[in-house]
Structure 1
Amino acid sequence: METIKQQNEIDIKNPRMLLFSICFVLMFSVMNGTMFNIAIPDIAEAFNLMPSEVSWVMTGYIMVYSVGALIYGKLADTVAFKKLITFGLTVFAIGSIIGFLAPNYYFVLVARVIQAIGGSMMPAIAFIAPIRYFPNERGKILGIIASVMAFASGIGPILGGVIAGFLSWQFLFLTSALMIVTLPFLLKNLPDEETVNVRLDYLGASLVGVTIASTLIGITLGFVYSLYIAIGFGILAVLRMFKAKNPFIPPHLFKSRNYLVAILTSFLAVACLFGLMFTVPIMLREVYSLSTMEIGLVMFPGAISAALIGRKGGRLVDQKGARKVYLASLALLSTGFLIVSSTVGLSPLIISLMLIFPMMCFPLVQASGADLLANLLAKHETGVGMGVFNLLNFVSGALSGAIAGVVLDLFRPENPVNFLALSGESAVYSNLFLTFMGLVLIGLIAFKLVYRDGEKMA
């Protein structure tokens, strides 16, 4: 397969401005997904909606966003970045304007879907650009990218609460539309590349999309029949993967045990991190009776620590190697979950400080995991390989939140499994964080046993 020009032919006019523009757009793209968590009650009140109805503001966005990240990753192997970014930002801005002017709930949902179609371009581009344009500083740049994502995930609810509180939830759409101002800077600093040999397995993409969508619907909304549909379409997607001449996802990616164990351990780690960010606000509201703004302030130090550690962690990837940093970050993450599990029930100030330990691991896991995959993937398959990585990360976030919500609904033990934690209504949260620790440890052990240095993908 032909690909766009390789690194030694690429001339970037202003690398610093290019990186700043990518980070700015990525930050707003990620915040757009988390800001609306705060506004869900306001949207439900505005249109007199049931919780199951208004949940589609998030569910619909995540479904389209996760599948879109994979599609953009596939296209990035053959389509010039300038075209992808122009299309993505323009579509996202159109969706934002529709949402701001939405006269009813139907238009809000349409706006969120359009936003997701455009916004899902950014994670794909953000993780591929360092590999393509900054090969000598790849780890450092990936660290910066991952720290921006972690910071945006943490700051999103705070910003959403301020905007929705002082103005209204419609202005969240208008705030997101600000991403479009970076388009001229991106177009000016991105190198001119030739789009060649654009081929996409539309049937394969559709089968993967339906599988992901029906899985998320089944888990988030509790529709059992949707899970049966997911299994059926998943089987068809796998068959298509092996039968198609140019499959949407090349099956040989999963024949590499290094690639497979890297994306699966990343899936577990990111699922636990997103589960933490989903669970902590609920815990702070139920156990400590904190307001939305106070919850944001408790989580703020963790978000800041993630932003600060990302760049240094990225440099460590370049200096020490992705494998060593990945193993260390998984070990630190499991320790962080143990610390949080042990201190649940203590004062909000202590909780705020303890959250720093797991949250600062977010950019370390993302940067070192992405660098591992970059070392494994052939240049002409960087896009689709990283696209699968992004797809699983976003799906893991949606699944972990849904599963954590079910656990909190069904189980309310008085005594925690962790003997260091306090008894009472906080026990279920301590148990949940201890479960996260166990899942990360499973991933750590699996990675150490399976991953082999120097093994290249066939």
Structure 2
Amino acid sequence: MNVRSKWLMISVGLGILLNPLNSSMVSIAIPRLQNVFNLDFTAVSWIIFSFYIASSIAQPIMGKASDLFGRRKVFLTGLVVSFIASLFAPLSPNFGWLIIFRILQAIGTSMMVAVGMAIVRIHITEKQATALSILSIFLSGAAAIGPFIGGVIIHWWSWPAIFIINIPLVLVSFLLCWRNIPKDESLTFVAQDMTLRKWFDLIDVSGILLFIVGLVALLLGLLSAKASGHISLYNVITLLIGIALLWAFVRHELKAKSPLIPLRTFAKYPEMIWVNVEFMLVNVLYYSLFFGIPSYLQIVRHVSEFQTGILMLSLGLCSLVTSPIAGRWIDISGARPALLISAILMTLGSIWLVTLNQTTPVMNVCFALVAFGISNGLNNVGMQAVLFQSSPKEIIGVASGLFNTSRYLGTILSSLLIGIVMGGKFNFEGFHLLGIILTVIALCLVFMSRRRRKTGILQDS
């Protein structure tokens, strides 16, 4: 990788880390926000859920926008939006305004995650798996250290600082990206003299509205059921509305001239569909562990918050160390071996959780954390490599956005899974059942990895 490519990777990396950093950093601020705004835990938890929902929706839409209007433009616009959200969020007069700026922050950072992968796909044509491993270090590293940074900031300052800290990162990233991201190629369509109706068809406004309202209804139904602890008529109706609208979205996309998500193209490349399903399941596994282990340690085993944080570092550190190794390995051998080993490690880690009991030394959880950390590093690089290899170049933006939506859907489903298994209180029996369910999901991933045809080094399509 030449010097220009390295600077491009640093520029893009500083932008894309803002999304995972802000999704994980704010979790430490929940107790403080409860006190400041006088809210219960269910209400204040929407500071997290709103970010996940907005990111899930925004990423494929911004990917589509980048395919149409230029990836550099969308990436730089994302930085501007993130700057505005980070600047005004600390000034929020109430919690409602804070949620609005939080959603705006999710949209801005989502622009960069979806488009950043596409920029790498287009402009770095050699050793793409190595390039992906660098992006994975930014993404995984930000997610891993987010809670630590959030804890330090909240301890020494206050909750507004978790937004203010983004401002210097955004400014540095903007200057680097302005200089290092190549200018967009000429657009493939003629914008002059285009009627409003043609613009709507080009952007697929109808598809975007169906996708947004349908996914919001679906996720609100699921998350409201989790927050309330039971399934009400409201939850059922909201879920059914969401499913109906998403079905209408699928029918619309099959007929649209310029669809938001080109389903017919996806049908021609089934590996694109499989990799999104696998990535969602991988994140169900990873975040079930990510959210479940701290609760197990603190509630069941009565381990302190500080000791829990130290133990959880093994998860993030193993992922960080594995990512660059995975990049070099996949450049040589293809993604299939790495993904198969990853699935086996997750299976072993899940089985290890089942063997834990209430007298097992707490250090033993590190075996599961290490297994999942290594598998996460392999997955982040390997599955992006498969996505790049299976996606046509002209739709890589929307394909990248949908891929990242799969990540957030997996995260949300993991939270729902823990809530369903545990009921109203986290306990050892529920944790044991959770380990069994994760083992079954991991075994499914082993089967899915084995069915993937053997592929070699990534090629520029």
TM over 0.5: yes
User: Take 2:313 and 2:353, find their aligned partners in 1: how far apart are those partners?
Assistant: 16
Residue aligning to 1:61: 51
Give 1:438's match in structure 2, choosing from 437, 440, 453: 440
Letter in 1 for 2:90: F
| Higher mean displacement: 337-346 or 144-153 | 337-346
User: Take 1:357 and 1:141, find their aligned partners in 2: how far apart are those partners?
Assistant: 24
User: Take 1:103 and 1:240, find their aligned partners in 2: how far apart are those partners?
Assistant: 41
Residue aligning to 1:182: 173
Shift of 1:292: 3.3
What RMSD over aligned residues (CA atoms) do the two structures have, in Å?
Answer: 2.3
Do residues 221 (structure 1) and 231 (structure 2) align?
Answer: no
Letter in 2 for 1:201: D
Residue aligning to 2:401: 387
User: Compared with structure 1, are the counterparts of its residues 95 and 245 closer, same or farther at alpha carbon in structure 2 (3 Å cutoff)?
Assistant: same
Q: Per the alignment, in what secondary structure is the counterpart of residue 120 of structure 1?
A: helix
Give 1:200's match in structure 2, choosing from 183, 200, 203: 203
User: Take 1:167 and 1:294, find their aligned partners in 2: how far apart are those partners?
Assistant: 22
Q: TM-score under structure 2 normalisation?
A: 0.88
Listed one character per residue, the Cα deviations across residues 197-255 of structure 1 (whole Å, up to 9, x for unaligned) are: 37321211121122221121111111222211111111110111112111111112442
Residue aligning to 1:262: 275
Do residues 305 (structure 1) and 324 (structure 2) align?
Answer: no
Listed one character per residue, the Cα deviations across residues 68-103 of structure 1 (whole Å, up to 9, x for unaligned) are: 111121122233332112210111111111111222
| Higher mean displacement: 299-308 or 68-77 | 68-77
User: Compared with structure 1, are the counterparts of its residues 441 and 28 closer, same or farther at alpha carbon in structure 2 (3 Å cutoff)?
Assistant: same
User: Take 1:257 and 1:94, find their aligned partners in 2: how far apart are those partners?
Assistant: 39
Following superposition of structure 1 onto structure 2, how do residues 100-139 of structure 1 map, counting pairs within 5 Å? 100-139=90-129
Following superposition of structure 1 onto structure 2, how do residues 15-414 of structure 1 map, counting pairs within 5 Å? 15-180=5-170, 181-194=172-185, 196=187, 197=189, 199-222=202-225, 223-255=235-267, 256-343=269-356, 345=358, 346-409=360-423
Structure 2 residue runs without a partner (length 5+): 192-201, 226-234
Listed one character per residue, the Cα deviations across residues 136-162 of structure 1 (whole Å, up to 9, x for unaligned) are: 111111122223322222221121112
Listed one character per residue, the Cα deviations across residues 24-53 of structure 1 (whole Å, up to 9, x for unaligned) are: 222232110011111112111111112232
The alignment covers a number of residue pairs equal to 434
User: Compared with structure 1, are the counterparts of its residues 394 and 53 closer, same or farther at alpha carbon in structure 2 (3 Å cutoff)?
Assistant: same
Shift of 1:324: 2.2
Q: TM-score under structure 1 normalisation?
A: 0.89
User: Compared with structure 1, are the counterparts of its residues 278 and 318 closer, same or farther at alpha carbon in structure 2 (3 Å cutoff)?
Assistant: same
Identity %: 25
Structure 1 residue runs without a partner (length 5+): 1-10, 413-424
Letter in 2 for 1:217: L
Shift of 1:371: 1.0
Cα contact 1:40–1:55 (8 A) shared by 2? yes
User: Take 1:290 and 1:86, find their aligned partners in 2: how far apart are those partners?
Assistant: 44
Shift of 1:166: 2.0
User: Take 1:236 and 1:193, find their aligned partners in 2: how far apart are those partners?
Assistant: 34
Q: Per the alignment, in what secondary structure is the counterpart of residue 17 of structure 2?
A: helix
Letter in 1 for 2:209: S
Shift of 1:113: 1.0
User: Take 2:363 and 2:133, find their aligned partners in 1: how far apart are those partners?
Assistant: 28
User: Take 2:237 and 2:204, find their aligned partners in 1: how far apart are those partners?
Assistant: 27
User: Compared with structure 1, are the counterparts of its residues 248 and 22 closer, same or farther at alpha carbon in structure 2 (3 Å cutoff)?
Assistant: same
Cα contact 1:310–1:363 (8 A) shared by 2? yes
User: Compared with structure 1, are the counterparts of its residues 344 and 383 closer, same or farther at alpha carbon in structure 2 (3 Å cutoff)?
Assistant: farther
